[in-house]
Structure 1
Amino acid sequence: MKDLNIYIADDDLDDLSFFKEALEDIPINTQVTHFDNGVDLMDRLFSDQTLPEVIFLDLYMPIMDGFECLMDIRNFKKFKNIYIIAYSSIYREREVNQLKQDGANQFLKKSSSYKELKKLLLDSLSKVNTKRNDFIVLT
């Protein structure tokens, strides 16, 4: 089975390490590429021949945050099939509604529990190929 090509944009290295470890521990094969900010992610998207199937976007990063990055990605037709999962440790209904309106496919609330994070990631990635048009919130 082909690996799911995933990009993660997150500037918090502790969160990133926790996140990547949980991804490795779920029964979905993934190939993960990490970016510290949205600018580096966008540069890679424009230079890559092979686009990721999924992008996890931390909402609060320096230089270019997840909100700006989402808007930029959705402004280009060549990126329309990328499944975007915005995530943060903070759940604010107003922001989640904005993410939905701006074209995110999911919002995922970060968990500090490894077991819970694994469950959220498995649930989240299991929906990538099935419910593309439904906005999903996982907390």
Structure 2
Amino acid sequence: MNKYKLIVVDDSLSVLKMFENVMKDYPDFELVRKYDRGDLFLEYLQNCEENIDFVILDLIMPDIDGLEIAREICEKYKYKIKHVICMSGLTSETMLNQIGYIGIDYFIMKPFSYDILF
């Protein structure tokens, strides 16, 4: 059986570690990569030849705006990535409108229970 491929992008190392630990409880999913910097994730996408089922993306990161990453995914890499899930501890009506306009599949407010994802 093929596993769903997942990439997590979040500047918080504790969040990345938590995803790594939680994924052990979900055998249908494979955490193929995790990034603490958005620019490194975009660099990976430029050279990536495999399809990814889910990208879970933090919107508030210090090196690059998560909305810009989401926009780039939807404009340039939608053929490689089936679903984009954005998450953030901060939100505004403007941000939510931009998420809808860009074409993000789901938005999750931090903190959250990992059970809602899987």
Moved more, 23-32 or 51-60: 23-32
Q: Flag structure 2 segments of 5+ consecutive residues without an equivalent.
A: none
In 1, the alpha carbon distance for the partners of 2:45 and 2:95 equals: 25
Deviation at 1:110, TM superposition (A): 2.3
Equivalent positions of 1:1-139 (< 5 A) are: 1-26=1-26, 28-76=28-76, 78-80=77-79, 82=81, 83-111=83-111, 117-122=113-118
For the structure 1 residues 31 and 2, does the alpha-carbon distance in structure 2 shift closer, same or farther, using more than 3 Å as the test? farther
Q: Is the 8 A contact 2:20 2:31 kept in 1?
A: no
In 1, the alpha carbon distance for the partners of 2:2 and 2:25 equals: 17
In 2, the alpha carbon distance for the partners of 1:39 and 1:80 equals: 20
Q: Is the 8 A contact 2:5 2:30 kept in 1?
A: yes
For the structure 1 residues 29 and 120, does the alpha-carbon distance in structure 2 shift closer, same or farther, using more than 3 Å as the test? same
Moved more, 4-13 or 27-36: 27-36
Q: Secondary structure at the match of 1:75?
A: helix
- Cα root mean square deviation, aligned: 1.9
- Paired letter, 2:53: E
TM-score, length-scaled by structure 2: 0.85
In 2, the alpha carbon distance for the partners of 1:63 and 1:90 equals: 17
1 or 2, which has the higher strand percentage? 2
For the structure 1 residues 47 and 24, does the alpha-carbon distance in structure 2 shift closer, same or farther, using more than 3 Å as the test? same
Between the two proteins, what is the percent identity of the paired residues? 26
Give the length in aligned residue pairs. 117
In 2, the alpha carbon distance for the partners of 1:95 and 1:29 equals: 29
In 2, the alpha carbon distance for the partners of 1:109 and 1:65 equals: 17
TM-score, length-scaled by structure 1: 0.74
